[in-house]
A and B are shown apart, each in its own frame.
Chain A
Amino acid sequence: GAVVSQHPSRVICKSGTSVKIECRSLDFQATTMFWYRQFPKQSLMLMATSNEGSKATYEQGVEKDKFLINHASLTLSTLTVTSAHPEDSSFYICSARKGVSTDTQYFGPGTRLTVL
């Protein structure tokens, strides 16, 4: 199988603080990981593509200084929401791709972020 985990599954923080979300591929090496944000009306928005050992590629309109992504190893990528505000409250989902040429992405269970 291809299992992807996320931690934490749910986090509540105060406005102005930073929150780190981890995405791990448990039984495979992921050269590429993706971070998505899911809005209340269910649509998924790709935020950035994270490649191991290099800088993340952000989608248009996503602030790279606000959503810091680090992909330090082949099994771990982190998303840090800096200086969080209530409008950052959302469901964040990561996915991991096994190989360079294959397109199949395996998704984590998501992290519910609530900023008070």
Chain B
Amino acid sequence: GEDVEQSLFLSVREGDSSVINCTYTDSSSTYLYWYKQEPGAGLQLLTYIFSNMDMKQDQRLTVLLNKKDKHLSLRIADTQTGDSAIYFCAEPRSSASKIIFGSGTRLSIRP
């Protein structure tokens, strides 16, 4: 995951917004993913955004994409205890037929 970078930890207060940031390297990616991993479980596809979009909103989730800076962010509004998880940014590499994952950001919620 060295080509996709994320900060490792984020702590927010319950009810606040969480913003998880990611930088990627392959400008030819047609879309980018956010995966969620709850404790002891596999990865769940949370959302994705096509590279020709700047923003995608889905209920409490907002994804922002800045192609110029190769920066992707995930905003979770009204963060709840159930949002505690590791969030992975991921970039498909079609040339290699595989997905490159970031290191994951562990989101913790404090009361």
- Same complex for A and B? Answer yes
CB pair A103–B1 under 8 Å, yes or no, is no
B88: chain A residues at CB < 8 Å are: 44
> Is B40 part of the contact surface with A, judged by Cβ < 8 Å?
yes
Give the number of residues in B that approach A within 8 Å (Cβ atoms): 22
A32: chain B residues at CB < 8 Å are: 97
CB pair B97–A49 under 8 Å, yes or no, is yes
A42 is contacted by which of B86, B94, B99 (Cβ under 8 Å)?
B86
Interface range, A side: 20 to 34
A42: chain B residues at CB < 8 Å are: 8, 86, 103-104, 106
A49 to B45, CA, bound (A): 19
A28 to B88, CA, bound (A): 24
B103: chain A residues at CB < 8 Å are: 41-43
A108: chain B residues at CB < 8 Å are: 42
Known: A93-B42, A106-B45, A109-B41. A44 touches B97 (CB 8 A): no
Return the CB mask of A16-59 against B: 1 if under 8 Å, else 0.
00000000000000001010000001111110010000000000
CB pair A93–B98 under 8 Å, yes or no, is no
Chain A residue at minimal CB-CB distance from B104: A42
Could you say which of A41, A43, A106 has the most chain B C-beta atoms within 10 Å of its C-beta? A43
> Is A67 part of the contact surface with B, judged by Cβ < 8 Å?
no
A109 is contacted by which of B42, B45, B92 (Cβ under 8 Å)?
B42
> Is A75 part of the contact surface with B, judged by Cβ < 8 Å?
no
B45: chain A residues at CB < 8 Å are: 104-107
Can you report 14 residue pairs joining A to B where beta carbons are below 8 Å apart?
Answer: A32-B97, A41-B103, A43-B1, A44-B43, A44-B104, A49-B97, A93-B42, A103-B92, A103-B94, A103-B99, A104-B48, A107-B43, A107-B44, A112-B40
Question: Closest 5 CB pairs between A and B?
Answer: A103-B92, A107-B43, A107-B42, A109-B42, A42-B104
Could you list which residues of chain B lie within 8 angstroms of chain A, going by C-beta atoms?
1, 8, 31, 35, 40-45, 48, 86, 88, 92, 94, 97-99, 101, 103-104, 106
Could you list which residues of chain A lie within 8 angstroms of chain B, going by C-beta atoms?
4, 6, 32, 34, 41-46, 49, 93, 95, 103-110, 112
